[in-house]
Amino acid sequence: MIEVVVQSTDAGKKVHRFIRQLLPGVPLSGVYKMLRTGRVKRNGKRVKTEDVLQTGDTVQLYMAETDFKASTRAPKKYGGVSREIDVIYEDSDMLVVNKPAGLLVHGDAGEQKDTLVNRVQAFLYDRDVRDRDAAEDRPTVFSVAPVHRLDRNTSGIVVFSKNAATASKLSDQIASHEVQKWYLAVVRGTIPPSGTIDAALRREVGNRTVVAREFDERSHSALSRYTRKAAVGRTSVALVELVSGRTHQIRAHFQSIGHPLWGDVKYGGRTSALAPQDASEGEQEHQWLHAALMVLPDGRRLFAPLPKQFRDTLQQLGYSAEQLRMVETL
């Protein structure tokens, strides 16, 4: 018999879902058969499929240790998935990574495998397997998940929650603007030393965000504050505080004041003249936007250094080493 103590991360789950996630090597029909035949009990009593588990419950599985170990592993689930992630902070509740430009956070219909979510889950899965082999504790069932997202070609901070309580708490804090977020953006032209862009936005056909001429039910208020960190020739680097968090907010806001992001084809910033020499064709034209700093309500500062490709582009645009230091000092 195998005994698994339900942790707080899995409290509130229905028993069939808990078993399904605990034993990914067992098909759903097998899980239902285990429940139907009494091979799963909670605190020594038989359970029903829809019963809800609570923290501290002991789930008994009537199966051999060797079968249990085999059933908890699903190596094919992450076969071929890259484990390459840049971890900038981790504790028992969250994992924070520096996302590279060009990588989706979530998969779309044509890109289900190489996404940031899959990389993080594969990375933690491998580590969990190693730790489990040397420990007596059973694995948690909660699947790590991002609490916010970035555009494919925006680099920088993405926070993943490790349990349901943290996911709910951080999502609420982000929605209520208790989490402060700053981005570094390369924009066309010389912007003022500082400014505020207070302009409502709305989504249009084609996944494009525009400044709303009139406020209506499709419009959402949006506020961005910026400081010019440096300027050279035809460009400036802005440190932008995203007070609200609308889709494509920074890109649409800077286009609206005549300073679209450098390389942002979708929002009027077309250029390919100064892309890094080793960049692929697909990387040569996209917005230069980096989620650099996040401050949590408890005061913790999460900082993501500029990617090499971003720094290379600034150097090619003419920014000096001293200006680069100014840009990265937040």
Which residues have a Cβ under 8 Å from the Cβ of 200 and sit 6 or more positions away?
Answer: 211, 212, 215, 219, 220, 221, 222
CA atoms within 13 A on the CB side of 235: 22
* Cα distances (Å, whole numbers) of residue 137 to 3, 66, 226, 290: 10, 16, 48, 39
Backbone angles phi, psi at 226, to 5 degrees: -140, 155
Q: Nearest-5° angle of CA 140, CA 100, CA 159?
A: 35
Would you say how long the chain is, in residues? 330
Greatest alpha-carbon pair distance for the chain in Å reads: 74
SS3 154: coil
With helix as H, strand as E and coil as C, how does 20-74 read?
HHHCCCCCHHHHHHHHHCCCEEECCEECCCCCECCCCCEEEECCCHHHHHHHCCC
Respond yes or no: is residue 151 known to be catalytic. Answer: yes
Encoding tokens for residue 20?
Answer: 């399904």
**Catalytic residue chosen out of the listed positions 151, 264, 278, 312:** 151
User: Is 93 buried (19+), middle (13-18) or exposed (0-12) by CB count in 10 A?
Assistant: middle
DSSP state of 241: E
What gap in Å lies between CA 179 and CA 296, rounded to an integer? 5
Known catalytic residues? Answer: 151
